[in-house]
Chains A and B, each alone.
Chain A
Amino acid sequence: MSEQPSNDSVGQRCQITREDFICQRIEIQKLREGENLILGFSIGGGIDQDPGQNPFSEDKSDKGIYVTRITPGGPAEVAGLRIGDKIMQVNGWDMTMVTHDQARKKLTKKREDVVRLLITRKSLEEAVKHSKGSHPRQ
Chain B
Amino acid sequence: MEDYDVRSAASILASVKEQEERFEQLTRALEEERRNVNLQLERANLPPNPTISQPLAWQQVVMQEQSPSNATSLAMMQEPQEVVEETVTIEEDPGTPTSHVSVVTSDDGTTRRTETKVTKMVKTVTTRTVRQVPLGPDGLPLPEGSSPLSSYTDSIDRRYMKNGGERFITPQATSTLTRAYNNSYNDSYVETPESQYIRHYGLHEGYADLTDNYGSLSRGVNFRPPRYPYMPNSYRPENSYTLPIRKDDYGHVAQPQVPMGSSTVDLNRSQPERFQPEPYGLEDDRRSLGPEEEEPYELEPDYSTASRRTLPGTNRGRTHREPLRDVHRVRGYPDDPIEAELIDERHPYIHGMYSAPLAQPERGSMASLDRMAGRRSPSIDSIRKDPRWRDPDLPEVIAMLGHPIDPVKSNAAAYLQHLCYENDKIKKDVRQLKGIPVLVSLLDHPKSEVHRKACGALRNISYGKDNENKVAIKNCDGIPALIRLLRKTNDMEVRELITGTLWNLSSYEPLKMVIINHGLQTMTNEVIIPHSGWEHEPNEDSKPRDAEWTTVFKNTSGCLRNVSSDGAEARRRLRECDGLVDALLHALQSAVGKKDMDNKSVENCVCIMRNLSYHVHKEVPGAERFQDPSALQAPGSAGPQRKKKDDAGCFGGKKAKEEWFNQGRKNGENDKNYDTLDLPKRTEPSKGFELLYQPEVVRLYLSLLTESQNYNTLEAAAGALQNLSAGQWTWSNYIRATVRKEKGLPILVELLRSDSDKVVRAVAIALRNLSIDRRNKDLIGSYAMRDLVSNLPSGQQRPAKNLEEDTVVAILNTIHEIVTDSSENARSLIQAQAIEKLVAINRTSQSARETKAASHVLQTVWSYKELRNALTKDGWNKSHFQPTVTATPKATKNGKPGYDDTTLPLMEKNQDGYSTIDQRDKDCKYKTDDGSADLTEREPLKNDTNRKHYIRSNRPAVSLVDACDVKPQPVDSWV
Query: Which residues of B lie under 8 Å from residue A48 when comparing CB positions?
Result: 969
A to B CB contacts below 8 Å, 7 in the list: A8-B480, A68-B487, A72-B490, A83-B488, A132-B208, A136-B441, A138-B301
**Contact of B969 with A138 in the complex, beta carbons under 8 Å:** no
Residues of chain B within 8 A of A2, CB atoms compared: 576-578, 688-689
* Bound complex: CA A65 to CA B542 (Å): 24
Surface stretch bound by A, among B174-182, B517-525, B811-819: B517-525
B971 and A5 contact, CB distance less than 8 A: no
Is A43 interfacial (CB-CB < 8 Å)?
A: yes
User: Count the B residues whose beta carbon is within 8 Å of the partner chain — how many?
Assistant: 49
B209 within 8 A of A: yes
| Contact B444–A104 (Cβ < 8 Å) | no
Name the residue in A42, A46, A128, A135 with the highest tally of chain B Cβ atoms < 10 Å from its Cβ. A135
Bound together, the chains give a CA A131 to CA B573 distance in angstroms of 33
A73 to chain B, nearest CB (A): 8
Determine whether B214 belongs to the interface, using a CB cutoff of 8 Å to chain A. yes
Give, as a whole number of angstroms, the nearest-CB distance from B477 to chain A: 9
A28-B576 Cα distance, complex, nearest whole Å: 37
Chain A residue with the shortest CB-CB distance to B581: A2
Is the contact region of chain A dominated by helix, strand, or loop, or is it mixed?
loop
Q: Does B296 count as interface, using CB distance less than 8 angstroms?
A: no
Number of A residues contacting the other chain (C-beta, 8 Å)?
43
Which listed residue, A49, A53, A68, A138, touches B402 by the CB 8 Å rule?
A138
- When C-beta atoms are compared, the residue in chain A nearest to B214 turns out to be A137
Q: Are A135 and B446 in contact (CB under 8 A)?
A: yes
* Interface flag for B898 (CB, 8 Å): no
| Complex Cα gap A138–B207 (Å) | 13
- Smallest CB gap from A11: residue in B: B484
From residue B384, how far is it (CB to closest CB) to chain A in Å?
Answer: 31
Query: Quick check: B490 and A83 within 8 Å, CB to CB?
Result: yes
Report whether B483 and A10 are in contact in the complex, using a CB–CB cutoff of 8 Å: yes
| A55→B488 contact, CB < 8 A | yes
* A108-B975 contact given A128-B208, A134-B444, CB 8 Å threshold: yes
Given contacts A10-B483, A128-B206, A132-B209, A137 and B404 within 8 Å (CB-CB): yes
The 8 A CB mask of A94-138 against B (1 = contact, 0 = none) is 000000110010011010000000000000000011011011111
Are A43 and B480 in contact (CB-based, < 8 A)? Answer: no
Query: What is the CA–CA distance of A138 and B401 in the complex, to the nearest angstrom?
Result: 8
The residue in chain A whose Cβ has the minimal distance to the Cβ of B688 is: A2
| Cα distance A99–B346 in the bound complex, in angstroms | 55
Give Cα A134 to B483, complex, Å. 17
> What 7 A-B pairs have minimum CB-CB distances, sorted nearest first?
A107-B975, A10-B484, A55-B487, A138-B402, A42-B974, A44-B972, A2-B576
A5 & B301 in contact (Cβ 8 Å cutoff): no
Which residues of B, 517-571, contact A by the 8 Å Cβ criterion? 517-522, 536-537, 541-542
Q: Which of A7, A72, A134 is B3 in contact with, Cβ under 8 Å?
A: A72
* Residue pair A7, B971 in contact (C-beta under 8 Å): no
Residues 59-84 of A contacting B (Cβ, < 8 Å): 68-70, 72, 83
B516: interface (CB < 8 Å): yes
| Chain B neighbourhood of A101, CB < 8 A | 536-537, 967, 970
Determine if A72 and B975 form an interchain contact, defined as CB atoms under 8 angstroms apart: no
The chain A residue sitting closest to B486, CB to CB, is A55
- CB pair B441–A5 under 8 Å, yes or no, is no
How far is B209's CA from A36's CA once the two chains are assembled, in angstroms? 47
Residues on B with beta carbons closer than 8 Å to the beta carbon of A129: 208
Residue of A36, A53, A110 with highest tally of chain B CB at under 10 A: A53
B449 nearest CB across to chain A (Å): 14
**Closest chain A CB from B484 CB (angstroms):** 4
Note all chain A residues with C-beta closer than 8 A to B541. Answer: 35-36, 110
B residues with a Cβ closer than 8 A to A are 3, 7, 206-209, 212, 214, 301, 304, 402, 404, 441, 444-446, 480-481, 483-484, 487-488, 490, 516-522, 536-537, 541-542, 573, 576-578, 621, 688-689, 967, 969-975
Give the residues in chain A near B577, CB-CB below 8 Å. Answer: 2, 4-5
Q: Return A67 CB to nearest CB of chain B, in Å.
A: 10
A17 in the interface (beta carbon within 8 A): no
Q: Distance (Å) between the CB of B693 and the closest chain A CB?
A: 15
Q: Which residues of A contact B484 (CB under 8 A)?
A: 10, 55
Q: Are A131 and B517 in contact (CB under 8 A)?
A: no
Measured between alpha carbons, how far is A50 from B542 in the docked complex, in Å? 28
Closest approach, in angstroms, between the C-beta of B578 and any C-beta of chain A? 6
| A88, CB-defined interface residue at 8 Å | no
Q: Complex formed: what's the CA distance from A20 to B237 in Å?
A: 47
Q: Which residues of B contact A100 (CB under 8 A)?
A: 969-971, 973
- Which residues of the partner chain B approach A5 to less than 8 Å between Cβ atoms? 516-517, 520-521, 573, 576-577
Asked if B969 and A104 sit within 8 Å, CB to CB, the answer is no
Beta-carbon nearest neighbor of A34 in chain B: B542
Within 8 A of B (CB), among A1-42: 1-8, 10, 35-36, 38-39, 41-42
Residue contact A7 to B208, C-beta cutoff 8 Å? no
Within the assembled complex, what's the spacing in Å between the Cα atoms of A6 and B518? 7
Whether B974 and A53, one on each chain, are in contact in the complex, defined by CB atoms closer than 8 angstroms, is no
- Measured in the bound complex, the distance between the Cα atoms of B974 and A69 in whole Å is 8
Contacts of A110 on B, CB cut-off 8 Å? Answer: 541
The 8 Å CB contact of B972, one of A7, A35, A42, is: A42
Q: Which residue of B lies closest to A108 (CB)?
A: B975
**Additional pairs, 19, CB under 8 Å, beyond known A7-B522, A104-B973:** A2-B576, A2-B689, A5-B573, A7-B518, A8-B518, A42-B972, A43-B972, A43-B975, A44-B971, A44-B972, A46-B970, A49-B969, A50-B521, A72-B7, A100-B969, A101-B537, A101-B967, A131-B446, A132-B207
Q: Do residues B970 and A7 form an inter-chain contact, with CB atoms below 8 A?
A: no
Q: Are A42 and B973 in contact (CB under 8 A)?
A: yes
Expressed in whole angstroms, the Cα–Cα distance for A128 and B7 within the complex equals 24
Taken together as a complex, chains A and B put the C-alpha atoms of A45 and B208 apart, in Å, by: 33
For the complex, give the distance between the alpha carbons of A76 and B3 in Å: 17
Q: Which residue of B lies closest to A133 (CB)?
A: B209
**Most B-side CB within 10 Å, residue of A6, A38, A83, A110:** A6
Chain A residues within an 8 Å CB radius of B621? 1
- Closest B residue to A104 by beta carbon equals B973
- Bound Cα distance from A83 to B487, whole angstroms: 11
Instruction: Decide if B972 touches A68 in the complex (CB within 8 Å).
Output: yes
CB distance from A22 to the nearest CB of B (A): 20
Residues of B within 8 A of A104 (CB): 970, 973, 975
Residues in B neighbouring A53, C-beta threshold 8 A: 487, 521-522, 971
- From residue A72, how far is it (CB to closest CB) to chain B in Å? 6
Whether the Cβ atoms of A6 and B517 lie closer than 8 Å is yes
Q: Which of A10, A36, A83, A107 contacts B542 (CB 8 A)?
A: A36
Q: Which residues of B contact A39 (CB under 8 A)?
A: 975
Complex interface: chain A residues within 8 A of B969 (CB)? 46, 48-49, 100
